[in-house]
Amino acid sequence: MFENFVVEDIDVGEAIIHVRHAGRGKAVLLLHGHPRTGATWHRVAPALVELGFRVVVPDLRGYGASRGPAPAADHAPASKRAMARDLVVVMDALGIGRFSVAGHDRGSYVAYRIAMDHPRKLTRLALLDCLPIVEHLERTDAAFATAWWHWFFFAQPEIPERVINADPDAWYDGDAHQMGQENYEEWRGATRNPDVVRAMVEDYRAGLTIDRRHEEADRAAGRKIEAPLLLLWSLGDDLEQLHGNPLEIWRRGWALDASGHGIHSGHHMAEEAPEALTAALAGFFGEA
């Protein structure tokens, strides 16, 4: 994976962020979701480099080979604000002042927070399989709670770690052929690490508490994403089925300039539909 990429660990103060990067040209930051590592982008990142982009692929704080501080009662160390700050420091360390971001799943919330907290750093934003956390929670009904029950399970104190760490291979199901063998092995190693598991569920605890409050504060203040926004969603997943057209939700209250469409894929589109995703991202980021 990631042939000719530089691999390094960057100290950002309260965390150590594991990063792969390569290429020249317009800078693009690619953020993974749960329970993946940056390796989920192994089919997309090299293709973007070939198309003339400079590509940076980190493991989020606490995920994969990145490490962060111990959890806290308010879950602030796992907040998307803290993760966004990590990545701005990473990009500064690499000499990149302005950049575009694509975030998938949990990484999309980090990408959103970069857009809100560091707008001068951002040129363009792509959010994959994403609605604001508060929009999900305010639409919660039996269908959503049944399909996305893990949000509420992970929010419980201590119980998720005990359950997952008892048999992580059974809990986290992955297909080595679909994922790619090296990506699969990296992901499997991470999911077997109790520290990573703890960080991943802390991510969700933060989502329902401090991250939600940050989004509510954005909305109350009338703050919106200023950068052009591309929204992509997996047609084989359930986001649209649960909430309708996600693009309409983003346009109504969260973004000044939003476009987007569905992609024929399951949830992990960087692994399942890399050609379509690469084309969409390259076209959008190339306009910056």
Report how many domains make up the chain: 1
Q: What's 245's domain CATH number? A: 3.40.50.1820
pLDDT tens figures, 172-211:
999 999 999 999 999 999 999 999 999 999 999 999 999 9
Q: 3-class DSSP state for residue 122? A: strand
Catalytic residue among 34, 118, 243, 267: 267
pLDDT above 70: residue 215: yes
Domain assignment present for 43: yes
pLDDT tens figures, 239-272:
999 999 999 999 998 999 999 999 999 999 999 9
For 188, the domain range is 6-285
What is the pairing mode between strands 54-58 and 16-22?
A: antiparallel
Burial (CB < 10 A; 0-12, 13-18, 19+), residue 241, is exposed
* Catalytic residue flag (residue 169): no
pLDDT tens figures, 41-96:
999 999 999 999 999 999 999 999 999 999 999 999 999 999 999 999 999 999 99
pLDDT tens figures, 93-123:
999 999 999 999 999 999 999 999 999 999 9
Which has the closest alpha carbon to 269: 174, 128, 148, 147? 128
Domain assignment present for 1: no
Catalytic residue among 86, 105, 203, 211: 105
Write down the pLDDT at residue 156. Answer: 96
Write down the pLDDT at residue 284. Answer: 98
* Catalytic residue flag (residue 267): yes
Is the C-alpha dihedral spanning 76, 81, 87, 88 positive or negative?
negative
Which has the closest alpha carbon to 179: 35, 9, 28? 35
Q: Is the pTM of this model over 0.75?
A: yes
Which has the closest alpha carbon to 4: 43, 46, 44? 46
Write down the pLDDT at residue 287. Answer: 86
